[in-house]
Structure 1
């Protein structure tokens, strides 16, 4: 869902499942080592909330919200300034892309995604027929956005968006979403209680912003309502509709991993710098298994961009128009790669062939939970064992890395996990 989004080096992400990973509880994505920056303080409001709401009334009416609807939903509305803290949050840690992907595309999510494919096969087949988007891609978006509906957000949208409309940065943007939320309620598709989601306003199984809902949500179960909260069919079909409208090309791949010749310069290359596939072939680029690039529906004139998210020593990809469609759902190449890779895994493909350029690979959510349990056993107060690595966990990891003689990065990588396991094994042998 194209929301006010956090890309590598940009502002922020509407926080849900992709919050938990693309920002990983406040971490930015990087292909470099961990870089600490300053955290934010608790926000102090600048405006009177009720006065702001009163001043917005005429704008809401001009945007198609009736006066009675506006009055009804703002009469007892109170601010939640914690959303401004999240808007202004400065992450303490950066997150390498291999950590990001290892958490989003792990065996646990692949297995559950395959279950969801089977469980919703009829709806997915019908959505694929109507919109031309493969079932695996639809389910991959669902899995990354909300872990298949398990993590869809707890913030009341009116309260969150009302607060963001009156305080902080990008008030104009959030007012558009605030008024869109009221129009949704005015039409009766969803109730106020159903409209809970991320702090930035994304909601439902596949995390649409309210204005995106208005444009692209569909009623796929035939009950006369576009319900992305309680109707899995509506949510999955709406996601397919989004990708279709974003330019999805039926029958074409998103891209694939490739081999590039030793010494080949990739300066200036990227997703946007597309060249005919024949040009890449002429430069010696092949598929990762060494086979030719031009196969199946691809021709020599098919435009493709070379994407190397960790540089030429890591996995390298050629990406096509369908990757751009995925990218438009949440404008971050790391996010797009997670969706694309998960969709391939759901089709039965394996992990990337090339290794990431690190001696400390990322961990799955199960392994992260194991690390968290080790930390709790060591006496650290890090909160729940949930596989989400927040700042408290990272600070504790850094302290343990120092104790164990490891580089104190704060990362929940394989090195600290291996050290914990070895230490536990030694204790058991004593």
Structure 2
């Protein structure tokens, strides 16, 4: 969610979209950060009285930031401490799916069919949005599909109440204070009403789940009605805002997010890192080609991505991959957006399978992996359970020194090798 929680990016009303919906789907956004569970009273301790006292103290700050006093008072006069929101923030579920399990849901037959129906229903507006911002309409629809199942799950929490509760809670006070101020400015600008300013428990709003600060920076009034309305049943402003966001972050029209490739025997897997970029024609000389053996077109500089290790599907990913990462940093999410867009466009499923016999490491195992790698001289730089580029590169160096194929995949086999040192 733009202006995201942790770094971060969510749908057409069931009443107006029921003809196209084959079955209710769900939002398919993987969480972007992992936190340890907090249980008992420590997970959420506060009262409505204390929250309202904090709101009274915060008023001066809001007015200094340009929020009208009357707007502030009306918006927060009935704020109530929401213990459930605090618990959810402190106990965010650990993302424990492999990429293939995630893709099974994120790019399901239902989501593809509903995406094609959504594209057909809103094709006129989406085509105009594509011309305006230079972002392919299928990409916009795919984000819509993953974030809110094409408008079906837009959230029902009061954004003002949630942001005030989380700002008062203090664990990430600066972030949520900024979100609260942005939400107040949205209300002050007249983009929506207090009752309609709703979203997820974490503050992500509307069809494509903008955080309030990202709304302020990137939302547009595309239909010209004087409001940047991402909450209503008409998704046009939300879809245009998503395209505007991607354009701002450098989307290149006509360039793929990524293309599935095959890796020839003898390929040096130490080259398969995001920091190394070559033209596809150069990669072809190194054994990285389309599944049929032909070189990928030179759309631009690309790097090799192996999200399932050497036994899974492989991709050449371009700069648009990084643009999608600005919406959500999880590789699984970006691959899902790109692949869903391709499937909505009518392209085929991935040709290569996945190593479905493998399981994802647990949170504790990922922490152990990073600690053991660092202790063994392969510094991951962070001990946070996130299997990002730094950890993948550390794994790759360790594998190379162990004389095994250095694909960088955080498997139980790698952890067991480290335990055996």
Do the aligned partners of 1:128 and 1:134 also contact (CA within 8 Å) in 2? yes
- Return the alpha-carbon distance in structure 2 between the equivalents of residues 111 and 92 of structure 1: 29
2:259 is the counterpart of 1:253? no
Q: Does 1:341 align with 2:364?
A: no
| TM-score for both structures, normalised by structure 2 | 0.75
Match of 1:423 in 2: none
Q: 1:27 Cα shift?
A: 11
Distance (whole Å) between structure 2 residues aligned to residue 208 and residue 68 of structure 1: 26
Residues 313-352 of structure 1: matches in 2 within 5 Å?
313-352=311-350
CA distance, structure 1, for counterparts of residue 221 and residue 40 of structure 2: 43
Report the CA distance shift for 1:194/1:272 in structure 2 as closer, same or farther (over 3 A).
Answer: farther
- Report the CA distance shift for 1:39/1:67 in structure 2 as closer, same or farther (over 3 A): closer
Structure 1 residues not aligned, in runs of 5+ = 8-12, 29-36, 363-430
Per-residue deviation, residues 214-264 of structure 1 (Å, max 9, x unmatched): 111111112111101113111111111111111001111111011112242
Structure 2 residues without counterparts, runs of 5 or longer: 12-24, 361-421
User: 1:73 matched to which residue of 2?
Assistant: 75
Contact 1:146 1:207 in 2 (8 A): yes
Q: How many residues end up aligned between the 2 structures?
A: 342
Distance 1:235 1:93, change over 3 A: closer
Q: TM-score, normalised by structure 1?
A: 0.74
What residue in structure 2 maps to residue 137 of structure 1?
A: 139
The one of 283, 294, 298 equivalent to 2:297 is 294
CA offsets, 1:175-198, max 9 Å, x none? 101010001101111011111111
1:352: how far off? 0.9
Shift of 1:328: 0.8
Among 202, 212, 218, which residue is 2:214 paired with? 212
> Is 1:304 equivalent to 2:302 in the alignment?
yes
Instruction: Tell me the distance in 2 between the aligned counterparts of 1:212 and 1:114.
Output: 27
Equivalent-residue separation in structure 1 for 2:10 and 2:164 (angstroms): 17
- Is the 1:243–1:326 contact (alpha carbons within 8 Å) kept by the matching residues of 2? yes
From 223, 240, 250, the equivalent of 1:237 is 240
Q: Which residue of 1 aligns with 2:187?
A: 185
Name 1:113's counterpart in structure 2: 115
Deviations 1:247-292 (A, max 9, x none): 0011111110111122423336333432333431221110122211
Moved over 6 A (4+): 13-19
State whether structure 2 residue 30 is matched by structure 1 residue 22: yes
Paired residue secondary structure (1:22) = coil
- What is the match of residue 2 of structure 1? 2
Alpha carbons 1:165, 1:172 under 8 Å: kept: yes
Is 2:2–2:9's contact at 8 Å kept on the other side of the alignment? no
Q: For residues 343 and 361 of structure 1, do their structure 2 counterparts lie closer, same or farther at Cα, with a shift above 3 Å needed?
A: farther
| Cα distance in 2 for residues equivalent to 1:122 and 1:46 | 49
Q: Which moved more, 1:321-330 or 1:258-267?
A: 258-267
Q: 2:351 maps to which residue? A: 353
Q: Partner of 2:187: helix, strand, or coil?
A: helix
* 1:112 CA drift (Å): 0.7
Instruction: Give the conservation status (yes or no) of the 8 Å contact 2:28–2:147.
Output: no
After TM superposition, give the deviation of residue 312 of structure 1 in Å: 1.2
**Aligned residue for 1:228?**
230
